[in-house]
Amino acid sequence: MSKPADTDLAAYSGFATNLDGKAMAALLRAEVAKDVAALQLRQTKPGLAVALVGDDPASQVYVKGKVRACQEVGIASTMLTLPATTTQAELLAQVDAWNADPAIDGILVQLPLPGHIAARAVIDRIDPAKDVDGFHPLNLGLLAAGRPGLVACTPAGILKMLSIYGGAHGWTPAGKRAAVLGRSITVGRPMALLLTNADATVTTCHSRTPDLAGRVAEADLVIAAAGSRHLIQGGWVKRGAVVIDVGIHRNPDGTLSGDVDYAAARLRAAAISPVPGGVGPMTIAQLMRNCTDAAARRRGISLV
Protein backbone atom coordinates (compact mmCIF):
# COMPACT_ATOMS: atom_id res chain seq x y z
CA MET A 1 0.00 0.00 0.00
CA SER A 2 1.63 3.20 -1.11
CA LYS A 3 1.47 6.43 0.84
CA PRO A 4 0.93 9.75 -0.95
CA ALA A 5 3.60 12.36 -0.59
CA ASP A 6 3.14 14.28 2.64
CA THR A 7 3.38 18.01 3.13
CA ASP A 8 4.09 20.17 6.16
CA LEU A 9 1.15 19.28 8.40
CA ALA A 10 1.90 22.11 10.79
CA ALA A 11 0.94 24.59 8.08
CA TYR A 12 -2.68 23.40 8.32
CA SER A 13 -2.96 23.26 12.10
CA GLY A 14 -6.24 24.50 13.50
CA PHE A 15 -8.17 24.79 10.23
CA ALA A 16 -10.45 21.77 10.65
CA THR A 17 -14.01 22.42 11.76
CA ASN A 18 -14.98 20.00 14.50
CA LEU A 19 -18.25 18.31 13.52
CA ASP A 20 -19.90 18.28 16.93
CA GLY A 21 -22.35 15.39 16.75
CA LYS A 22 -23.84 16.20 20.15
CA ALA A 23 -24.79 19.72 19.10
CA MET A 24 -26.08 18.58 15.71
CA ALA A 25 -28.09 15.77 17.31
CA ALA A 26 -29.72 18.30 19.64
CA LEU A 27 -30.92 20.23 16.57
CA LEU A 28 -32.32 17.07 15.00
CA ARG A 29 -34.02 15.96 18.23
CA ALA A 30 -35.65 19.39 18.51
CA GLU A 31 -37.06 18.96 14.98
CA VAL A 32 -38.34 15.50 15.87
CA ALA A 33 -39.92 16.69 19.13
CA LYS A 34 -41.79 19.36 17.19
CA ASP A 35 -43.11 16.77 14.75
CA VAL A 36 -44.05 14.37 17.56
CA ALA A 37 -46.06 17.18 19.17
CA ALA A 38 -47.79 17.82 15.84
CA LEU A 39 -48.71 14.14 15.55
CA GLN A 40 -50.07 14.11 19.09
CA LEU A 41 -52.43 16.93 18.13
CA ARG A 42 -53.84 14.43 15.64
CA GLN A 43 -54.21 11.72 18.30
CA THR A 44 -51.06 9.91 17.15
CA LYS A 45 -48.09 9.10 19.35
CA PRO A 46 -45.17 7.30 17.69
CA GLY A 47 -44.20 4.05 19.37
CA LEU A 48 -40.84 2.26 19.24
CA ALA A 49 -40.28 -1.34 20.34
CA VAL A 50 -36.74 -2.50 21.09
CA ALA A 51 -35.60 -6.07 21.70
CA LEU A 52 -32.30 -6.84 23.39
CA VAL A 53 -31.27 -10.49 23.39
CA GLY A 54 -28.53 -11.47 25.83
CA ASP A 55 -26.39 -9.38 28.13
CA ASP A 56 -23.79 -7.77 25.86
CA PRO A 57 -22.63 -4.69 27.85
CA ALA A 58 -22.20 -2.44 24.82
CA SER A 59 -25.64 -3.34 23.49
CA GLN A 60 -27.18 -2.58 26.88
CA VAL A 61 -25.64 0.91 26.81
CA TYR A 62 -26.85 1.53 23.26
CA VAL A 63 -30.40 0.39 24.01
CA LYS A 64 -30.65 2.50 27.16
CA GLY A 65 -29.50 5.52 25.16
CA LYS A 66 -32.21 4.90 22.57
CA VAL A 67 -34.93 4.56 25.20
CA ARG A 68 -33.73 7.76 26.88
CA ALA A 69 -33.84 9.58 23.54
CA CYS A 70 -37.45 8.42 23.07
CA GLN A 71 -38.39 9.95 26.39
CA GLU A 72 -36.75 13.26 25.43
CA VAL A 73 -38.71 13.69 22.18
CA GLY A 74 -42.04 12.20 23.31
CA ILE A 75 -41.95 8.81 21.58
CA ALA A 76 -43.51 5.91 23.50
CA SER A 77 -40.92 3.15 23.95
CA THR A 78 -41.20 -0.53 24.78
CA MET A 79 -37.97 -2.25 25.78
CA LEU A 80 -37.93 -6.05 25.95
CA THR A 81 -34.87 -7.76 27.42
CA LEU A 82 -34.66 -11.44 26.51
CA PRO A 83 -32.20 -14.08 27.76
CA ALA A 84 -29.36 -15.24 25.53
CA THR A 85 -31.09 -18.66 25.41
CA THR A 86 -34.06 -17.18 23.50
CA THR A 87 -34.66 -19.24 20.37
CA GLN A 88 -34.93 -17.81 16.90
CA ALA A 89 -38.55 -18.94 16.73
CA GLU A 90 -39.35 -17.09 19.96
CA LEU A 91 -37.74 -13.88 18.73
CA LEU A 92 -39.53 -14.10 15.38
CA ALA A 93 -42.83 -14.59 17.21
CA GLN A 94 -42.17 -11.39 19.16
CA VAL A 95 -41.42 -9.54 15.92
CA ASP A 96 -44.69 -10.85 14.46
CA ALA A 97 -46.58 -9.55 17.50
CA TRP A 98 -45.06 -6.11 17.10
CA ASN A 99 -45.74 -6.15 13.36
CA ALA A 100 -49.43 -6.66 14.17
CA ASP A 101 -49.57 -4.05 16.94
CA PRO A 102 -50.98 -0.74 15.62
CA ALA A 103 -49.39 1.17 18.53
CA ILE A 104 -45.90 0.16 17.40
CA ASP A 105 -44.50 2.23 14.53
CA GLY A 106 -40.86 1.18 14.75
CA ILE A 107 -39.22 -2.16 15.53
CA LEU A 108 -35.56 -2.45 16.43
CA VAL A 109 -33.80 -5.70 17.29
CA GLN A 110 -30.42 -4.78 18.73
CA LEU A 111 -27.45 -6.35 16.94
CA PRO A 112 -25.34 -8.41 17.36
CA LEU A 113 -27.56 -11.37 18.21
CA PRO A 114 -26.43 -14.62 19.85
CA GLY A 115 -24.81 -16.97 17.35
CA HIS A 116 -27.74 -19.39 17.18
CA ILE A 117 -30.08 -16.67 15.85
CA ALA A 118 -29.78 -15.69 12.19
CA ALA A 119 -29.83 -11.89 12.07
CA ARG A 120 -30.89 -11.93 8.41
CA ALA A 121 -34.02 -13.95 9.20
CA VAL A 122 -34.97 -11.50 11.94
CA ILE A 123 -34.37 -8.43 9.77
CA ASP A 124 -36.40 -9.93 6.93
CA ARG A 125 -39.31 -10.64 9.30
CA ILE A 126 -39.74 -7.01 10.38
CA ASP A 127 -42.51 -5.13 8.58
CA PRO A 128 -40.61 -2.82 6.16
CA ALA A 129 -42.92 0.04 7.19
CA LYS A 130 -41.70 -0.40 10.78
CA ASP A 131 -38.06 -1.13 9.92
CA VAL A 132 -36.58 1.95 11.59
CA ASP A 133 -33.08 0.46 11.33
CA GLY A 134 -33.44 0.56 7.54
CA PHE A 135 -31.88 -2.88 7.08
CA HIS A 136 -34.78 -4.68 5.38
CA PRO A 137 -34.08 -5.60 1.72
CA LEU A 138 -37.13 -3.64 0.59
CA ASN A 139 -35.88 -0.43 2.21
CA LEU A 140 -32.38 -0.98 0.83
CA GLY A 141 -33.94 -1.53 -2.59
CA LEU A 142 -35.95 1.69 -2.34
CA LEU A 143 -32.75 3.54 -1.45
CA ALA A 144 -30.96 2.01 -4.43
CA ALA A 145 -33.84 3.13 -6.65
CA GLY A 146 -33.73 6.65 -5.22
CA ARG A 147 -37.24 6.32 -3.81
CA PRO A 148 -38.54 7.26 -0.33
CA GLY A 149 -38.13 4.67 2.41
CA LEU A 150 -36.57 4.12 5.80
CA VAL A 151 -32.79 4.56 5.63
CA ALA A 152 -30.21 3.10 8.01
CA CYS A 153 -29.73 5.50 10.91
CA THR A 154 -25.96 5.99 10.83
CA PRO A 155 -25.70 6.87 7.11
CA ALA A 156 -28.83 9.03 7.27
CA GLY A 157 -27.43 10.77 10.36
CA ILE A 158 -24.14 11.39 8.56
CA LEU A 159 -25.97 12.94 5.61
CA LYS A 160 -27.75 15.23 8.09
CA MET A 161 -24.37 16.18 9.59
CA LEU A 162 -23.09 17.03 6.12
CA SER A 163 -26.23 19.08 5.45
CA ILE A 164 -25.75 21.11 8.63
CA TYR A 165 -22.06 21.63 7.91
CA GLY A 166 -22.77 22.44 4.28
CA GLY A 167 -25.43 24.97 5.17
CA ALA A 168 -22.94 26.86 7.31
CA HIS A 169 -20.00 26.64 4.90
CA GLY A 170 -21.54 26.54 1.44
CA TRP A 171 -20.48 22.90 0.96
CA THR A 172 -22.42 20.12 -0.76
CA PRO A 173 -21.62 16.48 -1.69
CA ALA A 174 -22.74 17.17 -5.27
CA GLY A 175 -19.80 16.95 -7.64
CA LYS A 176 -17.41 15.79 -4.92
CA ARG A 177 -15.29 12.66 -4.92
CA ALA A 178 -16.28 10.48 -1.96
CA ALA A 179 -14.47 7.46 -0.55
CA VAL A 180 -16.60 5.18 1.63
CA LEU A 181 -14.53 2.68 3.59
CA GLY A 182 -16.66 -0.35 4.41
CA ARG A 183 -19.52 -2.11 2.63
CA SER A 184 -21.83 -3.37 5.39
CA ILE A 185 -25.60 -3.02 5.06
CA THR A 186 -25.57 -1.02 8.30
CA VAL A 187 -23.28 1.78 7.09
CA GLY A 188 -21.13 1.37 3.98
CA ARG A 189 -23.61 0.26 1.33
CA PRO A 190 -26.45 2.65 2.26
CA MET A 191 -23.93 5.48 2.72
CA ALA A 192 -22.60 4.97 -0.79
CA LEU A 193 -26.15 4.95 -2.17
CA LEU A 194 -27.12 8.12 -0.27
CA LEU A 195 -24.07 9.95 -1.60
CA THR A 196 -24.71 8.68 -5.12
CA ASN A 197 -28.27 9.98 -4.88
CA ALA A 198 -26.77 13.30 -3.70
CA ASP A 199 -24.72 13.47 -6.95
CA ALA A 200 -21.33 12.63 -5.45
CA THR A 201 -18.91 10.38 -7.32
CA VAL A 202 -18.47 7.47 -4.93
CA THR A 203 -15.74 4.87 -4.51
CA THR A 204 -16.53 2.05 -2.09
CA CYS A 205 -13.34 0.73 -0.51
CA HIS A 206 -12.82 -2.50 1.40
CA SER A 207 -10.19 -5.04 2.45
CA ARG A 208 -9.34 -5.91 -1.16
CA THR A 209 -9.12 -2.36 -2.47
CA PRO A 210 -5.63 -1.78 -3.90
CA ASP A 211 -3.79 1.38 -2.87
CA LEU A 212 -6.29 2.44 -0.22
CA ALA A 213 -4.10 5.41 0.67
CA GLY A 214 -4.35 6.63 -2.91
CA ARG A 215 -8.12 6.34 -2.97
CA VAL A 216 -8.39 8.33 0.26
CA ALA A 217 -5.96 10.96 -1.03
CA GLU A 218 -8.22 11.61 -4.05
CA ALA A 219 -11.37 12.07 -1.97
CA ASP A 220 -13.04 15.35 -1.07
CA LEU A 221 -15.19 13.40 1.39
CA VAL A 222 -14.05 10.40 3.41
CA ILE A 223 -16.48 8.17 5.32
CA ALA A 224 -14.47 5.73 7.45
CA ALA A 225 -16.54 2.70 8.52
CA ALA A 226 -14.03 -0.10 8.12
CA GLY A 227 -13.83 -1.15 11.77
CA SER A 228 -10.04 -0.86 11.99
CA ARG A 229 -8.44 1.48 14.52
CA HIS A 230 -6.48 4.36 12.93
CA LEU A 231 -6.64 2.71 9.52
CA ILE A 232 -6.75 6.17 7.93
CA GLN A 233 -3.47 7.96 8.53
CA GLY A 234 -3.37 11.73 8.68
CA GLY A 235 -1.03 11.99 5.73
CA TRP A 236 -3.51 10.22 3.48
CA VAL A 237 -6.17 12.91 3.85
CA LYS A 238 -6.51 15.42 1.05
CA ARG A 239 -6.09 19.01 2.15
CA GLY A 240 -9.53 20.54 2.62
CA ALA A 241 -11.40 17.22 2.70
CA VAL A 242 -14.36 16.49 4.96
CA VAL A 243 -13.77 13.41 7.11
CA ILE A 244 -16.46 11.42 8.93
CA ASP A 245 -15.25 8.73 11.33
CA VAL A 246 -17.77 5.98 12.10
CA GLY A 247 -15.34 3.63 13.84
CA ILE A 248 -15.15 3.30 17.61
CA HIS A 249 -12.43 1.38 19.41
CA ARG A 250 -11.33 1.22 23.04
CA ASN A 251 -7.67 2.00 23.59
CA PRO A 252 -5.51 0.28 26.22
CA ASP A 253 -5.83 3.33 28.49
CA GLY A 254 -9.64 3.17 28.32
CA THR A 255 -10.10 6.11 25.95
CA LEU A 256 -11.92 5.78 22.63
CA SER A 257 -10.65 6.35 19.11
CA GLY A 258 -11.91 5.78 15.59
CA ASP A 259 -10.86 4.47 12.21
CA VAL A 260 -9.08 7.78 11.52
CA ASP A 261 -5.96 9.15 13.19
CA TYR A 262 -7.86 12.22 14.35
CA ALA A 263 -4.92 14.22 15.71
CA ALA A 264 -3.05 14.06 12.41
CA ALA A 265 -6.04 14.17 10.04
CA ARG A 266 -7.49 17.34 11.60
CA LEU A 267 -4.37 19.20 10.48
CA ARG A 268 -5.30 18.58 6.84
CA ALA A 269 -9.09 18.31 6.80
CA ALA A 270 -11.54 21.17 6.42
CA ALA A 271 -13.91 19.38 8.80
CA ILE A 272 -13.73 16.16 10.82
CA SER A 273 -15.98 14.30 13.23
CA PRO A 274 -14.48 13.29 16.58
CA VAL A 275 -14.71 9.94 18.34
CA PRO A 276 -16.59 9.92 20.64
CA GLY A 277 -19.12 12.73 20.21
CA GLY A 278 -19.43 12.66 16.43
CA VAL A 279 -21.50 10.11 14.54
CA GLY A 280 -22.88 8.25 17.60
CA PRO A 281 -25.28 10.94 18.83
CA MET A 282 -26.53 11.54 15.30
CA THR A 283 -27.32 7.85 14.84
CA ILE A 284 -29.64 7.83 17.85
CA ALA A 285 -31.25 11.13 16.85
CA GLN A 286 -31.87 9.74 13.34
CA LEU A 287 -33.55 6.70 14.87
CA MET A 288 -36.02 9.09 16.49
CA ARG A 289 -36.49 10.74 13.10
CA ASN A 290 -37.13 7.40 11.41
CA CYS A 291 -39.67 6.31 14.03
CA THR A 292 -41.57 9.59 13.76
CA ASP A 293 -41.55 9.46 9.96
CA ALA A 294 -42.74 5.84 10.05
CA ALA A 295 -45.64 6.82 12.31
CA ALA A 296 -46.68 9.61 9.94
CA ARG A 297 -46.38 7.49 6.78
CA ARG A 298 -48.36 4.61 8.22
CA ARG A 299 -51.24 7.02 8.87
CA GLY A 300 -50.92 9.04 5.68
CA ILE A 301 -49.95 12.21 7.59
CA SER A 302 -47.60 14.76 6.02
CA LEU A 303 -45.08 16.38 8.36
CA VAL A 304 -44.00 18.99 5.80
Backbone φ and ψ for 275, nearest 5 degrees, come out as -135, 120
Strands 249-250 and 256-257 come out as antiparallel
Beta bridge partners of 77: 48
How many angstroms separate the CA atoms of 88 and 94, rounded?
Answer: 10
For this structure, is 110 an active site residue?
Answer: yes
Query: One of 105, 110, 131, 261 is an active-site residue; which one?
Result: 110
Closest CA to 296 of 30, 43, 24, 99: 43
Query: One of 66, 130, 160, 176 is an active-site residue; which one?
Result: 66
For this structure, is 60 an active site residue?
Answer: no
Number of helices followed by number of strands (H, E) in the chain: 10, 11
Q: Outline where 149-278 has alpha helix (H).
A: 153-169, 188-197, 212-218, 262-265
Query: One of 127, 133, 245, 259 is an active-site residue; which one?
Result: 133
Indicate which residues carry an active-site annotation: 66, 110, 133
